[in-house]
Amino acid sequence: MAYDTSLEDLLRDLAPQVLGAVVRRYGHFDAAEDAVQEALLAAAVQWPAEGRPDSPRAWLIQVAARRLTDQLRSDQARRRREDAEGLRVPLEAYVAPAADMRLAADADDTLILLFLCCHPSLSPASQIALTLRAVGGLTTEEIARAFLVPDQTMGKRISRAKRTIRSSGVPFSLPPPHERAARLGAVLHVLYLIFNEGYSATSGPDAYRVELSGEAIRLTRMVRRLLPADGEVAGLLALMLLTDARRPARIGSDGELVPLAEQDRRRWDREAIAEGTALVTDAMSRTALGPYQLQAAIAAVHDEAARAEDTDWRQIVALYDLLARICGTNPVVTMSHAVAVAMVHGPRAGLDLLAPLDDDERTATHHRLSAARAHLLEMAGDHEAASEHYATAARRTTSLPERRYLTARAARAGKTALS
């Protein structure tokens, strides 16, 4: 029998909705997650044989709720916790809801779950891990493999994050209005970090991890459906689509990284480019500008150029100028800004922009600063210095594809310097 990928996709989409509904109604994040996993497994086994129910989501909530209440009633420690909660939770709340019952706040459950996973009391690493586990539905093993850490290490990280959430006493509800914008910013930042790690892996043998970039896009689409009027949500989704569209051309036939200027643009995903461009154009026309919209606009300018030499670098510089005014000093933005300035005003102007980053502890010893400086020095004709900085960048990166690429550039620049 052929494997039903549509069922897998449906269960992945429903999982955070069901978990959110169960956690909101019963609490007990850990136990609720176990119950939802059991419900999903039951669906994967029963639905292909018996047919899908009329309301798959309600079916899953009903089964998960019954599994959870059974677990709570059979566990004496949990029974004591139920007693303690008796004053705030009515007895009928411990009865599984009817299959066709729809709770009033269900439409917000996935978003609430994202806010919960991105709680400010958690470290960024814990926010990412918990989001991928609870909202993305990835297993602990999958998350550990993506971030190149042992399964046990990732399991402990996720468990600590859950304990922190539990001990914080944060109710399962949307943050109050005065906190919502900042908390949404944390959600978007986590999704941005997940995408970046997938698109350009920071360590290990692979140039990218499609499962992470794809999951980030899927989750951002989910947030977009929940908050269709938010310009920065649209901007982040557009940025991901416009960037990921280039992925097919990032690796050459020999397995080596191909820089943007040398990519075969015929291999870019035009459908993703069209969707991303439409998203950012609409957002910028009707909402206040934000950093994700501006970064998406820069990506769109790159993607619109049929050839590298057709790129409108002046427009890109103007967008970077605006981005710098909005979000202040960001070393990653500064490095990209410097390259754009070099394309318009010459490499020395770009090198001048990079100079202050030598005193920034976030970038002083980072391989990307050395790589950016090497690129601009090569543009300026100082091939000997370029070779040295490429070699430094190669030593500092933990990504094997980047190391091979930078080592090759160092050798090429060194050879040119000697000729």
Return the closest-CA partner of residue 18 out of 99, 109, 104, 100: 109
The confidence score (pLDDT) of residue 28 equals 76
Model confidence over 155-198: pLDDT tens digits?
889 988 888 887 877 777 778 878 878 889 989 989 998 898 88
258 contacts 251 by C-beta, under 8 angstroms: yes
Helix, strand or coil for residue 229?
Answer: coil
* Cα distance from N-terminal residue to C-terminal residue, the chain: 64
Spans of the chain below 50 pLDDT: 1-3, 78, 82, 86-107
- Per DSSP, the residues of 139-197 read -HHHHHHHTT--HHHHHHHHHHHHHHHHHHT--SSPPPHHHHHHHHHHHHHHHHHHHHH
Model pLDDT, residue 148: 67
pLDDT in tens, 136-156: 877 888 788 777 678 888 888
Helix (H) or strand (E) holding 359: none
Query: What is the helix (H) or strand (E) element at residue 98, kind and residue range?
Result: none
Residue 144 lies in a domain: no
Q: Where are the alpha helices (H) located in 245-366, listed in sequence order?
A: 270-286, 291-304, 313-327, 331-345, 347-354
Query: Quick check: is 56 in a domain?
Result: yes
What pLDDT was estimated at residue 271? Answer: 97
Q: Is residue 221 part of a domain?
A: no
Residue 117 lies in a domain: no
Please give the pLDDT value at position 38. 87
Q: Are 73 and 31 in contact (CB under 8 A)?
A: no
* Predicted local confidence at residue 49, as pLDDT: 85
Nearest to 240 by CA among 277, 266, 204: 277
Least Cα distance to 371 among 399, 330, 329 occurs for: 399
DSSP 120-138: TTS-HHHHHHHIIIIIS--
Q: Is residue 70 part of a domain?
A: yes
Any domain includes 49: yes
177 domain residue, yes or no: no
Task: Specify if 35 maps to a domain.
Answer: yes
Count of domains forming the chain? 1
